[in-house]
Structure formats: C-alpha cells, structure tokens
Amino acid sequence: MQAITIQEFGGPETLVWTEVPDPVPGPGEVIVDVRASAVNRADVLQRQGFYPPPPGAPPYPGLECSGVISAVADDVSGWAVGQPVCALLAGGGYAERVAVPAGQLLPVPDGMDLVEAAALPEVACTVWSNVVQRAKLAAGETLLVHGGGSGVGTFAIQLGAALGATVLVTARLAKHDRLRALGAAHTIDYREQDFAAEVRQLTGGRGADVILDIMGAAYLGQNVAALATDGRLLVIGLQGGRKGELDLGALLVKRATVAGTALRSLPLARKAEIVEGVRGQVWPLIVAGQVHPVVDRRLPITDAAEAHRLIESNEHVGKVLLTVG
C-alpha cells in the first residue's frame, strides 16, 4: 500500500507519498481501507520532530480516518467487513489502510458522507473527554474556547451551545461571523483585546466556568484570571509554550482546577471508554443536526504538504481533510 511518510524532520516538503508495508490486524483490531483522514496540529508537530507517535503506533501521521472495514481479527465482535466507519487513531491515518483497535471505531452518523466523517473522531473525543467528562460543563455555565476557528474550536462551540452553556471564543477577527453562526455568544479578537478582561466584562465579573486552552504557557496567567470561582482550566495544547508561572494564590482563592490532557498517549482501555461516551452522548446530537463537523476544504492525500501549510497559516476554519482514492 501507499502512505505519507516523513522523510526527515522539517517543513511540509518532507511529506512523501510512497510504498510502505501493508498493515496486519493484531488481536482486537480491524483493518480499515481509508477514504479520508484529517490534518491535526499534532501531525504538524510530528513532522517537525516534536511529537513522536506512541510505542506500537504506525510512524505515519494521521490521528483519525474514515473508511470501510476490510478485515477483522478473530476475537473482534460487533464489526464486519464492508461496514463504513470512522476511527480514532494513535497514528497512521495518512495511508491507504490502517489497523485500528476495535474499541476506537465509531459508526458513520446516519446521513453523513463517508469522507466528511473523517473530521469527527479526534475533535469529538478531545472535546467530550475534556469539556464533559473531566470539566463536567453544565447548562447555564460559561465556556471559553481558545482557537475558536480550529477543528477542536468549531466543535467545542457547537457542543457547548448544545449543552446549554454560554460559549465565548477567542479567534482572529476575520473568523468571528462564522463562529457566532456556530453558536458562540461572544467573540474576542485575541490580537487586539485582553481576553481575560473581556471575559470578566461579558460575565459581569464572574468569569468562565470552563476554559478549553490550546496555548499553554503564554495564556496561563490570563486563563487563571479569566476563571470563575470553582472554574476548570483544561490545557490540551502548547502552541504558546511549555513553561509558565502559576499564581497559586489566585488558584486557591478561586478554588480552581488546572488539568492537562493528551488523548494520543492514553491506554487503549481509556480511549475505548471515551469513544463509547462520544458514541452515546455526542452522536445523537450529530444525527439531530445540533452539532456537525466544519470542513474548510478537501484535498487529495498527495497534497498533504499543502494541507500542512494551510494549517500552519491559521487561515482555515474547521478541519482540512485528505481524501484517498
């Protein structure tokens, strides 16, 4: 089969579509013939040499895919050859075929195009596991989403609104109209406005109950300042650096929680638990039309380098998909 390989760590030009060994299903796995994958910020970091795949994962990028099952291990039940699926991966989505633990498979939501379904697994599992499972966002609370124009951001806006929360987002000004259309109650231009001050003003001084953060160190102090009493800060990315200074006094006064998570490195059983939660709680919202994947564009997988350039430009809104075949 063919896959996108990283010839050497560096720029997008190091991504090459080339022949690689066919995957073989191990115990508890199925083989999926890939129809599409999606580009995530983690793929860019892997290409640059900063985010290696966990042990046992394919070396090719790609944390999610959609396609059709072509082989099933003897110990797998509930899934069959020929079934359309989408899947959460530890790697290997940029390929014609990939081996997937059965616990990380999801059915394609009713009425959804198979290619479009590739935009769902990573964002749905990331947002649900953090905002719902860990932070326990409740109706009537305020959710602040950083990077509102990203795949995770566009999904978090919709899920937060569907759960009855008031959603605030930070994003470039050019993206604000589209994010409000997705359900954001207020949009903040992070390049021109102090988002912590804006959040306090918009909430009457109370602050945000839950913050979903992709920036890390650069936003740590402002995020704590923007939290409400008993607020929960979930750090899922480090685009603004790894090390920051934390005012523990402010954290204690607010009885706040700061948590960091990384979906890719979780044990299989934990990922399967998250996937099951997403299937039970998020998939019905998708079928009902309350939440949908936002796709910026579809590109052939042989144009993976161009897709990475687009992600690095931050000019996209939602997901960039790579189609196979």
From 72-86, 142-156, 171-185, 249-263, the region with the lowest mean pLDDT? 249-263
Mean pLDDT, to the nearest integer, of 188-192? 94
Give the pLDDT confidence score for residue 94 in this predicted structure. 98
Mean pLDDT, to the nearest integer, of 100-113? 97
Give the pLDDT confidence score for residue 126 in this predicted structure. 98
Mean pLDDT, to the nearest integer, of 134-153? 97
What Å distances lie between residue 308 and 26, 90, 239, CA to CA?
Answer: 31, 18, 16
Give the pLDDT confidence score for residue 238 in this predicted structure. 87
Question: Does pLDDT of 250 surpass 90?
Answer: no
Mean pLDDT, to the nearest integer, of 138-151? 97
Burial (CB < 10 A; 0-12, 13-18, 19+), residue 140, is: exposed
Indicate the DSSP class of residue 204.
Answer: T
Domains of the chain: 2-120+293-323 (3.90.180.10), 124-260 (3.40.50.720)
Give the pLDDT confidence score for residue 230 in this predicted structure. 98
Question: Does pLDDT of 240 surpass 90?
Answer: no
Give the pLDDT confidence score for residue 124 in this predicted structure. 98
Question: Does pLDDT of 325 surpass 90?
Answer: no
Mean pLDDT, to the nearest integer, of 117-138? 98
- Rounded to whole angstroms, the Cα distance separating 242 from 62 reads 23
- Rounded to whole angstroms, the Cα distance separating 92 from 110 reads 26
Q: Please state at what angle helix 41-48 crosses helix 304-313, rounded to 10 degrees.
A: 110
Helix (H, G, I), strand (E, B) or coil at 32: strand
Give the pLDDT confidence score for residue 182 in this predicted structure. 98
Contact between residue 36 and residue 322 where contact means Cβ atoms under 8 Å apart: yes
Q: How confident is the model at residue 244 (pLDDT cuts 50, 70, 90)?
A: confident
Q: What tokens appear for 282 in the block?
A: 């998020």
Give the pLDDT confidence score for residue 168 in this predicted structure. 98
This prediction's pTM: 0.96
Which residues neighbour 261 within 8 Å (Cβ) at sequence distance 6 or greater?
A: 129, 130, 134, 234, 235, 236
Q: Could you tell me how far CA 82 lies from the centroid of its own chain?
A: 27
Q: Could you tell me how far CA 8 lies from the centroid of its own chain?
A: 25
- The DSSP bridge partners found for residue 66 are 36, 86
Mean pLDDT value across the chain: 96
- Rounded to whole angstroms, the Cα distance separating 106 from 67 reads 11
Amino acid residing at 21: P
End-to-end, the C-alpha distance of the chain in Å comes to: 12
Mean pLDDT, to the nearest integer, of 41-46? 96
Give the pLDDT confidence score for residue 234 in this predicted structure. 98
Per-residue pLDDT tens digits for 213-235: 999 889 999 999 999 999 999 99
- Rounded to whole angstroms, the Cα distance separating 18 from 165 reads 46
Which residues neighbour 87 within 8 Å (Cβ) at sequence distance 6 or greater?
A: 32, 64, 65, 66, 67, 98, 100, 104, 105, 106, 121
What Å distances lie between residue 266 and 47, 104, 270, 287, CA to CA?
Answer: 21, 12, 6, 28
Mean pLDDT, to the nearest integer, of 33-52? 96
Mean pLDDT, to the nearest integer, of 71-84? 97
Give the pLDDT confidence score for residue 207 in this predicted structure. 98
Give the pLDDT confidence score for residue 239 in this predicted structure. 86
- How much of the chain exceeds pLDDT 90, in percent? 93
- Rounded to whole angstroms, the Cα distance separating 320 from 251 reads 37
In the sheet that holds 142-145, the strands lie side by side as 186-189, 166-171, 142-145, 208-213, 227-235, 257-260
